[in-house]
């Protein structure tokens, strides 16, 4: 057993663990011929399954599952606005109850430890739904919450939600002044120092922080305090000479400033912030295509006097309903985001690599849809790159302010696999995307997800920012996808591509792996980087590639698959490359090994056999484990289409060989 600092038991999984089991596993004959036959059958079945899941408009989208804070905060928002209804409440409570663990807690990922803030928010949501505090499931939750320090030990964002109803004092929260909107772009802690997701959340929260609204609480929450007579005990101050100490004193000064802030200046700042928010509302009424900024933007504008029938708020509230996934049992799950562009480009790549003809009608329809999603206007990225013409793709249905570098690279790779009826249109779109991606390269030669050189260390120091990543530095996985795309576009020897390659080689961990920022974790990073390096002309015999192969072979599970638990982000030594085997993570490892010309290796054969053996009869795979990452450790994602697209890609490359093999080193 490994004792973890959060009180959970972090037992390392045995190597034989498998996340997917079927009643009638596909028989696999021994030897390379039997493995290849099994791979071809699994590939055909997976191809049929994926083709059947395409929307009539040409896109694919799997559910994007996170944790119950999305559902709890949706109910709290509706309670705050006075629009909570019985049907929505019942359906949300049904889902939240179903996610509770036997010890009374809620986790942020499948099989993970109980998490305090998540458990508090889930508990409060169930109280809104009518669950009594003395019911057994509620009593277990509140007892665990008190054991962990109660509400006072929860993160700032949870306490903000509680402050909206008087369950926590605004005075005991960090100050976030709206005057922040006036900070010039060269000044530390200006809004563009934050990653786009944090920026879109913080701007409306400056208005909420300034207004400090309190709506009558429908019930007390004394049972969630360790000492109800002292619900907000003083916190241990940070050392005076530390950065944390500096920012604690800054927060104290901002609390004093609040008392003397000129009213005209404060009102002007809130007005400027509201204009900034409204300018960034998308055509579908949402903000940034993600739920948290939408929720806080609605609250902020409502506090400034926008009534619920105002077009901005009416469309904003309506957009939240599109994040709801209704299940057959009547439960309602809220997606934090939706991923149609990402899912569609990955599905297109998988199908093409599996041998679906380049002019297949469904691939052409997917290309048509992706071409229609190209972003043709500047967004917040242009603050750092004002002269760069627009181009590229976002993650969601509507998010024109925030195209992302990762999606753009993968969409280009997908479009290159399709024989389109309008090749000129396709070439022009690809050209704009390549130009935009190259223009978004950071000064160290690598790429972040949304912005250029978004690396300031100050935002993470703010007392307000105690949850998740708030900056967007370059990462190995995003950089790898861009390098792979540039290689396919014949730019392997471009100086900008070479700088990206040099950065990737320098970022390799001592054990041979690469860190995965947007997928779990070192298996994802390594599965992204190795194919990119090989595509760009780095030979399979290169020491970096050999170290990566050795690492992947060393962390392969006894069942032939690969897996990695989210705990690898926090407990690196114990959990790196360790976890129950999953279809998606097995595929990532195979993509790296196949790129490294290891197709005849025992490790590859065992990995392919795992995918064939664990496939369901309908061509799908089961995968309850979370293999996607929003914020490392803090916010995890189960992309429900990952278990389909990545195994199919790996099977296709095993059967048909590497795509664009002739372009390597061009």
* Letter string b/e over residues 147-186, b meaning 16 or more CB atoms within 10 A of that residue's CB: ebebbbbbbbbbbbbbbbbebbebeebbbbbbbbbeeeee
In a domain, 420, yes or no: no
Query: According to the model, what pLDDT value does residue 11 have?
Result: 43
- Mean pLDDT over residues 11-23, rounded? 41
What are the residues whose beta carbons fall under 8 Å from the beta carbon of 475, sequence distance 6 or more? Answer: 446, 447, 448, 449, 515, 517, 518
Q: What is the pLDDT of residues 470-490, one digit of tens each?
A: 999 999 999 999 999 999 999
DSSP strand pairing (332-334 vs 628-631): unpaired
Q: Which residue has the tokens 């004959």?
A: 29
494 is catalytic: no
pLDDT at 3: 35
Instruction: Indicate whether 26 and 132 sit together in one domain.
Output: no
Per-residue pLDDT band for 662 (boundaries 50, 70, 90) equals low
Degrees to nearest 5, angle at CA 171 with 170 and 175: 85
**Of the residues 74, 343, 400, 406, which is catalytic?**
406
> Residue 238: is its pLDDT beyond 80?
no
In a domain, 377, yes or no: no
* Calpha distance 281→287 (Å, rounded): 5
Q: Give the residue numbers spanning the domain of 215.
A: 65-228+240-334
pLDDT band at 591 (very low <50, low <70, confident <90, very high): very high
What's the CA gap between 405 and 421, in Å, rounded? 26
Give the C-alpha separation, 141 to 121, whole Å: 11
Average pLDDT of the chain is 92
Question: Does position 192 have pLDDT exceeding 70, yes or no?
Answer: yes
β-strand partners of 18: 581
- Confirm whether 12 is domain-assigned: no
Residue 27 has what pLDDT? Answer: 58
Rounded (5°) CA angle 485-490-494: 90
Cα separation, 203 vs 198, in Å, equals 9
Closest CA to 175 of 238, 244, 252: 252
In this predicted structure, what is the pLDDT of residue 488? 97
How far, in Å, CA of 51 to CA of 73, rounded? 35
- Identify whether 649 is part of a domain: yes
Q: For residues 53 and 64, give the distance between their C-alpha atoms in angstroms, rounded to a whole number.
A: 16
The SS3 assignment for 653 reads helix
| pLDDT classification of 559: cutoffs 50, 70, 90 | very high
To 10 degrees, the CA torsion angle through 362, 364, 367, 371? Answer: -130
- CA atoms of 562 and 560, how far apart (whole Å): 7
3 state DSSP class of 533 = helix
- Whether 259 and 117 map to the same domain: the answer is yes
Mark which of 287, 317, 334 sits at the end of a domain.
Answer: 334
Give all strands (DSSP E) within 416-565, no chain letters: none
Number of domains observed in the structure of the chain: 2
**Residue 358: what are its φ and ψ, rounded to 5°?**
-60, -25
365 inside domain: no
Same domain, 157 and 271: yes
- pLDDT exceeds cutoff 70 at 664: no
7 pLDDT above the threshold of 90: no
Nearest to 562 by CA among 575, 573, 552: 552
Q: pTM of the prediction?
A: 0.93
Q: Does residue 16 surpass a pLDDT of 60?
A: no
Q: How confident is the model at residue 20 (pLDDT cuts 50, 70, 90)?
A: very low
Instruction: Count the alpha carbons within 13 Å of 37 in the hemisphere toward its beta carbon.
Output: 9
Last residue within a domain, chosen from 334, 365, 390: 334
Indicate whether 27 and 162 sit together in one domain: no
One domain for residues 31 and 151: no
Q: Do 177 and 34 belong to one domain? A: no
Q: Is 264 found in the same domain as 147?
A: yes
Q: Do 583 and 523 contact (CB within 8 A), yes or no?
A: no
Question: Domain for residue 268, yes or no?
Answer: yes
Question: Mean pLDDT across the stretch 427-455?
Answer: 98
Q: How far apart are CA 109 and CA 633, in angstroms?
A: 9
Q: How far apart are CA 210 and CA 213, in angstroms?
A: 9
**What pLDDT, on the 0 to 100 scale, is given for residue 62?**
96
Residue 46 covered by a domain: yes
Coil/strand/helix, residue 281: strand
Residues 186 and 261 in one domain: yes
Share of the chain above pLDDT 70, in %: 94
The answer to whether residue 303 is domain-embedded is yes
286 and 144 part of one domain: yes
Extended beta strands in 481-546, E state = none
Please, are residues 302 and 308 in contact by the beta-carbon 8 Å criterion? Answer: yes
Do 136 and 199 belong together in one domain?
yes
Which pLDDT band holds residue 215 (cuts at 50, 70, 90)?
very high
Same domain, yes or no: 46 and 194: no
- Are 560 and 628 part of one and the same domain? yes
Residue range 249-264, pLDDT digits in tens: 888 888 888 999 999 9
Question: Could you tell me the pLDDT band of residue 234, with boundaries at 50, 70 and 90?
Answer: confident
CATH code at 44? 1.50.10.20
Kindly report, residue by residue over 78-136, the tens digit of the pLDDT: 999 999 999 999 999 999 999 999 999 999 999 999 999 999 999 999 999 999 999 99
- Given pLDDT bands bounded at 50, 70 and 90, which one contains residue 61? very high
> Which pair of structure tokens corresponds to residue 526?
């390594």
- The residue out of 334, 351, 380 marking a domain boundary is 334
């Amino acid at each position: 057993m490994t004792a973890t600092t959060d009180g959970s038991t972090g037992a390392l999984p045995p190597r034989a663990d498998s996340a997917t089991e079927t009643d009638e596993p596909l028989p696999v004959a021994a030897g390379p011929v039997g493995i290849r036959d099994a791979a071809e059958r699994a590939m055909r079945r997976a191809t049929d399954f994926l083709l059947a899941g395409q929307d009539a408009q040409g896109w694919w989208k799997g559910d994007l599952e996170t944790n119950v804070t999305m559902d709890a905060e949706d109910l709290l928002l509706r309670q705050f606005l006075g629009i909570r209804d019985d049907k929505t409440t019942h359906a949300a409570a049904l889902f939240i109850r179903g996610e509770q663990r036997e010890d009374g807690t809620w986790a942020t990922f499948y099989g993970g430890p109980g998490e305090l803030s998540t458990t508090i928010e889930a508990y409060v949501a169930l109280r809104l739904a009518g669950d009594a505090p003395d019911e057994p499931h509620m009593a277990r939750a509140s007892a665990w919450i008190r054991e962990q320090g109660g509400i006072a030990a929860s993160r700032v964002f949870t306490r903000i939600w509680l402050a909206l109803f008087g369950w926590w004092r605004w005075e005991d929260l960090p100050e976030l002044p709206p005057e922040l909107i006036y900070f010039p772009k060269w000044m530390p802690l200006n809004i563009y120092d934050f990653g786009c997701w944090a920026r879109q959340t913080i701007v409306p929260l400056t208005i909420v922080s300034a207004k400090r609204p309190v709506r009558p609480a429908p019930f007390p929450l004394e049972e969630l305090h360790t000492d109800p007579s002292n619900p907000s005990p003083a916190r241990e101050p940070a050392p005076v000479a530390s950065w944390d100490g500096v920012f604690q004193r800054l927060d104290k000064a901002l609390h004093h400033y609040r008392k003397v802030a000129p009213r005209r200046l404060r009102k002007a700042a809130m007005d400027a912030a509201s204009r900034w928010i409204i300018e960034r509302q998308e055509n579908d009424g949402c903000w940034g295509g993600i739920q948290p900024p939408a929720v806080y933007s609605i609250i902020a504008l409502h506090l400034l006097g926008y009534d619920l029938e105002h077009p901005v708020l009416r469309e904003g509230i309506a957009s939240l309903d599109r994040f709801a996934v209704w299940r057959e049992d009547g439960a309602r799950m809220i997606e934090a985001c939706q991923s149609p562009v990402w899912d569609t480009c990955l599905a297109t790549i998988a199908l093409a690599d599996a041998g679906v003809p380049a002019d297949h009608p469904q691939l052409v329809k997917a290309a048509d849809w992706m071409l229609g999603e190209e972003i043709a206007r500047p967004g917040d990225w242009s603050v750092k790159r004002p002269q760069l013409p627009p181009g590229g793709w976002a993650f969601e249905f509507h998010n024109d302010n925030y195209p992302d570098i990762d999606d753009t690279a993968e969409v280009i790779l997908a479009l290159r696999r399709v024989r389109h009826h309008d090749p000129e249109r396709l070439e022009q779109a690809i050209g704009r995307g390549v130009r935009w991606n190259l223009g978004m390269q950071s000064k160290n030669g690598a790429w972040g997800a949304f912005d250029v050189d978004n690396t300031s260390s100050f935002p993470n120091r703010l007392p307000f920012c105690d949850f998740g990543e708030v900056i967007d530095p370059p990462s190995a996985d995003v950089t790898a996808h861009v390098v792979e795309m540039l290689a396919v576009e014949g730019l392997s020897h471009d100086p900008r591509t070479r700088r990206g390659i040099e950065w990737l080689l320098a970022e390799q961990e001592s054990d041979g792996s690469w860190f995965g920022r947007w997928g779990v974790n070192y298996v994802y990073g390594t599965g992204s980087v190795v194919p990119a390096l090989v595509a760009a002309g780095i030979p399979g015999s290169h020491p970096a590639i050999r170290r990566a192969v050795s690492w992947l072979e060393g962390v392969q599970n006894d069942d032939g698959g690969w897996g990695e638990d989210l705990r690898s982000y926090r407990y690196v030594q114990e959990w790196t490359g360790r976890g129950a085997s999953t279809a998606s993570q097995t595929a990532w490892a195979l993509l790296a090994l196949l790129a490294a010309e290891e197709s005849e290796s025992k490790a590859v054969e065992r990995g392919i056999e795992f995918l064939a053996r664990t496939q369901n009869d309908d061509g799908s795979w089961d995968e309850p484990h979370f293999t996607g990452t929003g914020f490392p450790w803090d916010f995890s994602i189960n992309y429900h289409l990952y278990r389909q697209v990545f195994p199919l890609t790996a099977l296709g490359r095993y059967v048909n060989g590497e795509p664009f093999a002739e372009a390597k080193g061009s």
